[in-house]
């Protein structure tokens, strides 16, 4: 039970029968924290709406990937015992119960709290029966001109088999009767995804799109009686296994798998709780779902569509706008600044456009730049960085871009702009066989006046995406350091060529040396503590799942090393267990921005080592991805990164705290009831008055 009066809702009870917290249960606990933000009445109202939509989108992905993967393993008999020692079928049943609880809580938060609060602010989300005659008349015209032409009712009878229901599509199950013959027919009507989920019925008054369609079914089934109609939504397995050996083009293999993704088996059926037993039974049988896969909730379904409501132009109901800090002098080239010192930026508090984008754009326009090499994992199609790379190639510079076309959910977009780059003359490499390239690297090679070459580098924790850079918290290091330049040259040559380079100077590169490098440093802290030397471990990550790393942290804790971990989402480590992890504390920060940076701090006997980069502590990052961490050496930057983690862990900072029983407890107020510091608000305020660095 949270100690916070606003969120006094029982938290999920997590299974902690072993050394590890179940990964999927921990994921659900993370989404519960997102839901708690939506339930927080002190937050701006449209931001609460946004968190409701984010929760829904998160849960969709959870079923499409995680639950789908577990069901596939159960069907094949592979890996039927989890990291937390749970047998797979009982584990799936337990996860289903937790997910059902959260789905109902999510629906209640919308219906009983947020919808009413919106109405008080003049924003109404109503059902068709609540509309005035004038509103219904206007929507009848809208239906006939905008909706009706794109609808395709599909009846089911001996001549018409049950239609394929695409993943995440919203549908109406309709039973119609012929008044002449008395014959009843089942039909399906797909709600067009090209139209808004909530349709404007008047000024800031909205109705679900499926309600509008349901009110006009007599036009789709002319001369028939509408016996019943119910909304439903299907989630399918949309993960895939790509065998990217060298027998065919990786691009062609991915395009084939993307087509196959549409036809994955159903893993969840969402229905309104008013659905009849007969219609539900038919849907379940046709879709092949079990009772535990059926989610009955009060309508409307698909609250991911609330993003459209959150986007309304109501600045009074949103977070205050802020302008990111300018950390580079506007009239000095980036290369000139980097000749003098390293620059560490933290987005979105520090401007992405005037640092990372500017770095690439200036390199593309600089006649002294000979080559640009960059990794791209996720970006936007209208990215200035893509345009700059194309300009550089067209200007005759050598440009290499390593595109990870297997970045989940962005595969099609990545294929499109990868081809655009190729058409402009950019050398495009599609990842590494058997691995995803997840590292965030850019390398610029520039000729100096004396004929020598100098290398300028960017290594980040986040993607080269100008849109997410305004929403995700990430770090990036800009440097002209010789050793980093040598490391990136070696790494890019390995990625575009064929080799297995292992010796780096200021990088830890996965998969071959990343886990080993982290384990070595964890063990070193334990030895230092035993020898009476200063010892401490501080991590800031998105997820902590890897059992080898966790066991090493347990051993270090047993040796007495203080360990602080800031984790955004999944944490399989159990902190505070006597004799195993009693010196480990775990906190989680959620809020306006998505915490995305990865930082690793080791006290190192009083000479702290700080690393940052792209890798989380998960099997996929440590075993199946090309990742890179860079060692930060500037003393002020080292201290700043350490202080950030210390501030996140502080008792005076609002956060969620993980206990040994797997429960997350939210702390937003002091014992006297005073609000604790919001870390993200603090960083916004401190950056607002920041002078240009240097």
Mean pLDDT for all residues in the chain = 90
- According to DSSP, the β-strands at 472-479 and 453-460 are antiparallel
Rounded to whole angstroms, the Cα distance separating 394 from 150 reads: 42
- Which of 59, 121, 131, 141 shows the shortest CA–CA distance to 95? 59
Query: Which tokens sit at 304?
Result: 């991911």
405-431 residue pLDDT tens:
654 555 666 677 778 888 889 998 877
- Which of 413, 403, 364 shows the shortest CA–CA distance to 385? 364
Q: Which domains does the chain have, with CATH numbers?
A: 5-120 (1.20.58.310), 128-239+266-297 (3.30.1840.10), 334-503 (3.30.870.10), 509-688 (3.30.870.10)
* Burial of residue 691 (number of CB atoms within 10 Å: 0-12, 13-18, 19+): exposed
377-402 residue pLDDT tens:
876 667 899 999 999 999 999 999 99
pLDDT of residue 200: 96
pLDDT of residue 214: 97
Has residue 247 got a pLDDT over 80?
A: no
Mean pLDDT in residue range 466-471: 92
Least confident window among 6-15, 202-211, 658-667: 6-15
Share of the chain above pLDDT 90, in %: 76
Rounded to whole angstroms, the Cα distance separating 545 from 618 reads: 5
Catalogue the active-site residues: 438
The pTM of the whole model exceeds 0.75: yes
Mean pLDDT in residue range 188-200: 96
583-628 residue pLDDT tens:
999 999 999 999 999 999 999 999 999 999 999 999 988 998 899 9
Per-residue exposure over 551-575, b if at least 16 CB sit within 10 Å of its own CB, e if not: bbbbebbebebbbbbbbbbbbbbbb
């Amino acid at each position: 039970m949270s100690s916070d009066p606003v969120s006094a809702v029982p938290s999920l009870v997590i299974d902690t029968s072993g050394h590890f917290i179940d990964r999927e249960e921990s994921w659900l606990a993370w989404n519960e924290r997102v839901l708690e933000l939506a339930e927080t009445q002190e937050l701006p109202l449209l931001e609460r709406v946004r968190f409701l939509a984010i929760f829904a989108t998160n849960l969709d992905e959870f079923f499409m990937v995680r639950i789908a993967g577990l069901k596939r393993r159960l069907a094949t008999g592979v890996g039927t015992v989890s990291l937390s020692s749970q047998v797979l079928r009982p584990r799936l049943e337990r996860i289903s119960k937790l997910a059902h609880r959260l789905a109902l809580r999510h629906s209640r938060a919308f219906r009983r709290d947020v919808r009413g609060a919106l109405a008080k602010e003049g924003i109404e989300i109503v059902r068709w029966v609540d509309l005035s005659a004038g509103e219904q008349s206007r929507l009848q015209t809208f239906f006939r001109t905008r909706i009706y032409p794109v609808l395709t009712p599909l009846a089911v009878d001996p001549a018409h088999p049950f239609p394929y229901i695409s993943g995440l599509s919203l549908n109406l199950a309709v039973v119609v009767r012929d008044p002449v013959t008395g014959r009843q027919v089942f039909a399906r009507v797909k709600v067009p995804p090209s139209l808004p989920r909530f349709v404007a019925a008047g000024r800031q008054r909205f109705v679900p799109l499926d309600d509008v369609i349901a009110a006009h079914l007599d036009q789709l089934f002319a001369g028939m009686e509408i016996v019943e109609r119910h909304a439903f939504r299907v989630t399918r397995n949309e993960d895939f296994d790509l065998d990217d050996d060298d027998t065919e083009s990786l691009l062609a293999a991915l395009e084939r798998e993307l087509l196959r993704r549409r036809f994955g088996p159903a893993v969840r059926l969402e229905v309104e709780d008013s659905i009849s037993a007969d219609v539900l039974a038919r849907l379940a049988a046709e879709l092949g779902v079990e009772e535990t896969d059926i989610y009955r909730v009060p309508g409307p379904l698909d609250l991911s569509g609330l993003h459209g409501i959150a986007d309304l132009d109501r600045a009074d109901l949103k977070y205050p706008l802020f302008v990111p800090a300018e950390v580079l002098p506007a009239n000095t080239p980036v290369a000139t600044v980097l000749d003098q010192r390293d620059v560490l930026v933290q987005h979105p508090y520090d401007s992405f456009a005037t640092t990372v984008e500017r770095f690439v754009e200036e390199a593309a326009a600089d006649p002294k730049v000979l080559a640009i090499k960059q990794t791209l994992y996720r970006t936007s199609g209208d990215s200035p960085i893509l345009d700059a790379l194309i300009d550089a190639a067209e200007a005759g510079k050598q440009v290499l871009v390593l595109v990870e076309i297997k970045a989940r959910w962005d595969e099609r977009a990545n294929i499109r702009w990868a081809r655009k780059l190729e058409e402009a003359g950019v050398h495009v490499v599609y990842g590494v066989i058997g691995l995803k390239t997840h590292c965030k690297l850019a390398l610029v090679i520039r000729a100096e006046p004396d004929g020598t070459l100098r290398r300028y580098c960017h290594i980040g924790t986040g993607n080269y995406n100008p849109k997410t850079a305004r929403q995700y918290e990430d770090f990036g290091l800009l440097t002209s350091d010789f050793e980093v330049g040598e490391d990136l040259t070696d790494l890019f040559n390995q990625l575009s060529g064929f080799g297995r380079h292992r010796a780096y100077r200021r990088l830890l590169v996965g998969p071959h040396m990343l886990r080993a490098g982290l384990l070595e440093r964890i063990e070193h802290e334990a030895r230092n503590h035993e020898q009476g030397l200063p010892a401490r471990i501080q991590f800031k990550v998105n997820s902590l799942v890897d059992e080898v790393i966790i066991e090493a942290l347990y051993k270090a804790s047993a040796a007495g090393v203080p360990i602080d971990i800031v984790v955004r989402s999944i944490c399989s480590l159990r902190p505070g267990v006597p004799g195993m992890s009693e010196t480990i504390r775990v906190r989680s920060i959620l809020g306006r921005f998505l915490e995305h940076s990865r930082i690793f701090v080791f006290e190192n006997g009083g000479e702290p080592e700080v690393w940052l980069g792209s890798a989380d502590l998960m099997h996929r990052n440590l075993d199946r991805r090309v990742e890179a961490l860079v060692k930060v050496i500037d003393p002020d930057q080292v201290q700043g990164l350490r202080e950030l983690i210390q501030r996140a862990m502080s008792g005076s900072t609002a956060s969620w705290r993980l206990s040994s029983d797997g429960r997350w407890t939210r702390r937003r107020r002091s014992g006297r009831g005073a609000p604790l510091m919001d870390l993200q608000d603090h960083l916004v305020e401190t950056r607002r008055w920041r002078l240009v660095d240097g």
